[in-house]
Amino acid sequence: MQTHYPVIIVGGGQAGLALSYLLKQNNIDHLIFEKHKVGHAWRNERWNSFCLVTPNWQCRLPGFSYAGPDPNGFMAKEEIVSYLEAYARSFNPPIREGVTVLKVSSSGTKFAVATSIGDYTADQVAIATGGYHVPKIPPIAAQLPRDVQQIHSVQYKNPQDLPDEVLIVGTGQSGCQIAEDLHLAGKTVHLVTGSAPRAPRRYRGKDVVEWLERMGYYDLPIDQHPQKEMVRHKTNHYVTGRDGGRDIDLRRFAQQGMHLYGRLQSITGQTLHFGKDLKQNLDRADTTVVRIQRNIDKFIADNNITAPPEAHYQPVWEPELEPSSLNLKATNIGAVIWATGFRLNFSWIDLPIFNELGEPLHDRGVTAVDGLYFLGLPWLYTWGSGRFSGVTRDAEYLATQITARLLVPASA
């Protein structure tokens, strides 16, 4: 059995498959190790009603752009899985599913790749395992009463699994979309807000994603972004593609009975204590909406584009009193969902390419260790790097680097 390959790709999601397609086009012998099956994260780590927040036309993997009947729609979970499975069938990548990579290390002029089916070596290795590895649950969670069910957002599936009163901590994309899912199902939702920004779904006749793409937002390299490397730590804007796409306006949810709170500060027995920043959090999110609208207005004016006029967002609700505490027992809250994000885990890579936070140091996915690359990370190079929209550009760049190194080995 062959145990050495010019290139080994770790991870068979959209990033790993995109790179495999390009390497196959260049007749470069390689192998993909996938811990589960193609589409696993989309199939098993998303809730039942999950859908994309970017339009289907932005799904453009190399050689396999979306060609379905609804380019302006938003693929649901099962459609995303089918899209990836169809992509894999379209070029038959050399993938071994159900294989865990246990360690990647240096072995002389090669890389040693230890796996659950044996040891391999490679001249070059591309890490394409994404950036959402370990669910983050804050230490304060240990202070909740034991009879309160706790899950992370990655474990949430559907409203029927949870009691009638649910508390959600976190207002990033997952937190807000799960809050909407539970709210529409008739659950009483208590939502602890944070500093996440939000985006309008549509403005002046187009989906905002289309405007942002035309304005070059998805092409802006990280080294030209005003926040530079810090942008990698920013929370994504919350919006939804559900039912054809719409805004997520927490103020409107509050009008309809959802309970909103400031940041969770402490827990004493059955009582949760919150900061007095609910209005500030809502205002900050809405400021982002208006800023996006104004940028679109300027783009339309500067380029003499004909587009229907539209007023900027105006708040539909204001918190009269910001609740400072909440008693779980008195409100009959039986479950807490921690929508608090993920952390990286590259502990299985034994090479000196990480900073003090465990983040890989790289330039467009190329590390200082010759022949080692990363692909599929958020803001690897642009805003679209961790999405279907931008992974092709990153994969093409790395395929060029990999090909050049094979033609002119580093030892030369």
pLDDT, position 228: 85
Sort strands 4-10 and 30-34 into parallel, antiparallel or unpaired. parallel
Give Cβ neighbours of residue 82 (< 8 Å, ≥ 6 apart): none
Does residue 410 register a pLDDT over 60?
no
CA distance 32 to 81: 18
- Give the pair of three-digit tokens for residue 179: 């809050």
Total count of residues recorded for the chain? 412
pLDDT confidence of residue 409: 60
Task: Give mean pLDDT, residues 96-104.
Answer: 98
pLDDT at 1: 85
**Mean pLDDT within 276-299:** 98
Helix residue spans in 30-115 (DSSP H) = 40-44, 77-91
pLDDT at 157: 98
Query: 296-353: per-residue pLDDT in tens?
Result: 999 999 999 999 999 999 999 999 989 999 999 999 999 999 999 999 999 999 999 9
Which pair of tokens denotes residue 55?
Answer: 């339009």
Helices and strands (H, E) in the chain, number of each type: 9, 22
Closest by Cα among 154, 239, 218 to 391: 218
Kindly give, in sequence order, each residue whose CB lies less than 8 Å from that of residue 22, ignoring residues fewer than 6 positions away: 62, 395, 396, 399
Q: Is pLDDT of 231 > 90?
A: no
- In the chain, pLDDT over 90 holds for what percent of residues? 93
User: Quick one: which of 72, 69, 93 has its CA closest to 15?
Assistant: 93
* pLDDT (mean) for 160-170: 97
> What is the spatial distance between Cα 234 and Cα 253, in angstroms, rounded to a whole number?
24
Question: Which one, of 23, 40, 41, lies nearest residue 32 by Cα?
Answer: 23
412 falls in which pLDDT band (50, 70, 90)? very low
205 contacts 34 by C-beta, under 8 angstroms: no
401 contacts: CB under 8 Å, gap ≥ 6: 366, 373
> What span, in angstroms and rounded, lies between the C-alpha atoms of 305 and 375?
36
Tens digit of each residue's pLDDT (9 = 90 or more) over 354-383:
999 999 999 999 999 999 999 999 999 999
Task: Give how far Cα 191 sits from Cα of 85, 144, 198, 317, 337, Å.
Answer: 36, 16, 15, 16, 10
State the average pLDDT over residues 59-80: 97
**pLDDT tens digit sequence for 17-35:** 999 999 999 999 999 999 9
As given in the structure block, the two tokens for residue 396 are 């093409």
Give all domains of the chain, ordered by start, each with its CATH number.
4-133+344-407 (3.50.50.60), 135-338 (3.50.50.60)
**pLDDT of 9 above 50:** yes
Given a cut of 70, whether residue 398 has pLDDT beyond it is yes
Measured at the CA of 64, the angle between CA 61 and CA 65, to 5 degrees, comes to 75
Average pLDDT for the chain: 96
- Torsion sign over Cα 402, 404, 407, 409: negative
pLDDT band for 400, please (50, 70, 90 cuts). very high
In whole angstroms, give the CA distance from residue 195 to residue 102.
37
Strands 110-115 and 118-127: antiparallel
**210: part of which helix (H) or strand (E)?**
helix 208-214
CA separation for the pair 85, 97 (Å, rounded): 13
